[in-house]
Structure 1
């Protein structure tokens, strides 16, 4: 029996197999963040045949201040819903399910792109970007929570199968999560429960907006691999709280280390993190990171390292990767 080909059915988001295309920024949107023909053609090509059960759309900004880069997709205005509906329709037509990832870049944003001074939980240099932000106020935190909520509702209206909240790779929610960048002395800082307070408030706001049946995923930068940074022990506590708050699937990646883990070349860079998180939660866990061979994906599932595997760069380079992998297992 192939583990990769087995369906995921004991979950709010049911999937025909365990293969996921993780979010990868393309910079193919229109200048204003609207859907372009380039974007539609790109995801049409990647989802052909429906061999990938779940396509997670690249991180999309919830407000201009949180825009990470030029030609990034937008979920910041009601006017984008019509274009996003075209995207979900194409992926569904090809036989895959689709989730949109929504994000605020925080101190990873550039004033040259957004026109705003970057913000963060504290006046601490972003370890990945070298930017020193202005400390976000409590009123601004309320506004950011509303922006996440409104963006999630747009994702639902555009016909997607779920929404993913981005808290990895050194973006705003990851900045709150990590003790490297969160030195706040109010209720949004301090211990791990303080540092995830904004996450829990966003999850609640999103759930209230989209209803009980709409799947919520959360991408967590589960370890910074830096002195004084986030540890797996932090992430085990956080993951359990996220599950209690209504997250249906956890998507595990790196924190300020980015997309790869130091000192490992094995496929499934973050498998030690997903394995540890699976010990404390009952929701499905996605593992992504350097997986390029179908046998490696199969083995990671068979050994209980994860419930779903994300194959990114291999699919990015070869749109027929999934078709060949699936046919090889049958």
Structure 2
């Protein structure tokens, strides 16, 4: 496992190896979104021994209106910082680095969860929420969301994490702006690819101003919807080039409206055609996840130039000793 063991520096972030635990929602937070003892115990168990180079904490909502589900982690106000420090401390003591993913659900939620009507770039129902027509966001509301992302990122830094990941995948709000399926706007936030990622670029800029140049910023991108009329790899090559120019340090690639599963996928690392194309287009590291279950496959994907880092989710979820075995411990 020579390549899997190889260290990697991403900006100021120095990883001991190429293994990543990707963000996976646990639904274990307190009712108010604060870190619970169950969450601390969970991440403690997964990161024991420091065999995972990077742990990406599950998506956390930047505002109540952006909450996706019950018992989701919150990064929406300063009251969550103290408990989050306990979480970052545990992972660091175990020898792994940790970043936190921040998110707004957009139309991928319900009034029962948020207490208000779901919003989106346009009045287009979410494919997973077809009976709910979201309210189209105004430009002032978009500015508020940009500020909420920046404020959330600042809290991530105050809580002692090594970086922050902006979530634009799996059909959540930023994925909705990127996808022609859900973005039918006629203003500067809709139309061609550069217009559909304007909100992303504004968020990246605001986040970097809030956390400073030395704090590492990742972006998770749903690089294809695998649906007619949706995001294509050609769109994503344009977008990722712009994200790199804006100062994103690494790209974490997954699906758009299809979620974290590629339709009819059977091979390990099934998003590799996306990551390989993007890796050849940008100079920043690219993370590949998707159905990877053994270390040999992870090594082969790295050796084949498919990605720079390998995310292993469900296998680590099922077996907390997976990383130790993979690293030959």
User: 4+ residue stretches of structure 1 with deviation over 6 A?
Assistant: none
Does the Cα contact within 8 Å between 1:62 and 1:104 map onto a contact in 2?
A: yes
Equivalence for 2:262: 261
Does the Cα contact within 8 Å between 2:10 and 2:216 map onto a contact in 1?
A: no
Post-superposition CA distance 1:11-34 (Å, at most 9, x none): 432201000000000000000000
User: Matches of 2:9 and 2:74 in 1, distance apart?
Assistant: 31
Match status 1:24 vs 2:31: no
User: Matches of 1:10 and 1:23 in 2, distance apart?
Assistant: 18
Equivalence for 2:33: 33
Does the Cα contact within 8 Å between 1:188 and 1:197 map onto a contact in 2?
A: yes
Q: TM-score, normalised by structure 2?
A: 0.99
Tell me the SS of whatever aligns to 2:9.
coil
Tell me the SS of whatever aligns to 1:20.
strand
Does the Cα contact within 8 Å between 1:12 and 1:248 map onto a contact in 2?
A: no
User: Matches of 1:3 and 1:237 in 2, distance apart?
Assistant: 29
Equivalence for 2:210: 209
> How far 1:75 moved relative to its partner?
0.2
Q: TM-score, normalised by structure 1?
A: 0.98
User: Matches of 2:115 and 2:10 in 1, distance apart?
Assistant: 45
Equivalence for 1:53: 53
Equivalence for 1:144: 145
User: Matches of 2:174 and 2:128 in 1, distance apart?
Assistant: 14
Match status 1:169 vs 2:175: no
**Could you say what the CA RMSD is over the residues aligned between the two structures, in angstroms?**
0.8
User: Matches of 2:19 and 2:142 in 1, distance apart?
Assistant: 35
Post-superposition CA distance 1:149-189 (Å, at most 9, x none): 00000000000000000000000000000000000000000
User: Matches of 2:228 and 2:48 in 1, distance apart?
Assistant: 43
Equivalence for 1:129: 129
Post-superposition CA distance 1:28-64 (Å, at most 9, x none): 0000000100000000000000000100000000000
Tell me the SS of whatever aligns to 1:108.
coil
Structure 1: stretches of 5+ with no match in the other structure: none
Does the Cα contact within 8 Å between 2:68 and 2:105 map onto a contact in 1?
A: yes
Count of residues in Structure 1 that have an aligned counterpart in Structure 2: 328
Superposition map of 1:6-155 within 5 A: 6-9=6-9, 11-130=11-130, 131-155=132-156
> How far 1:129 moved relative to its partner?
2.3
Match status 1:294 vs 2:305: no
User: Matches of 1:256 and 1:177 in 2, distance apart?
Assistant: 11
Post-superposition CA distance 1:136-155 (Å, at most 9, x none): 00000000000000000000
Change in 2 beyond 3 A, CA 1:223/1:77 = same
Moved more, 245-254 or 263-272: 263-272
Match status 1:305 vs 2:309: no
Post-superposition CA distance 1:204-240 (Å, at most 9, x none): 0000010000000000000000000000000000000
Does the Cα contact within 8 Å between 2:205 and 2:246 map onto a contact in 1?
A: yes
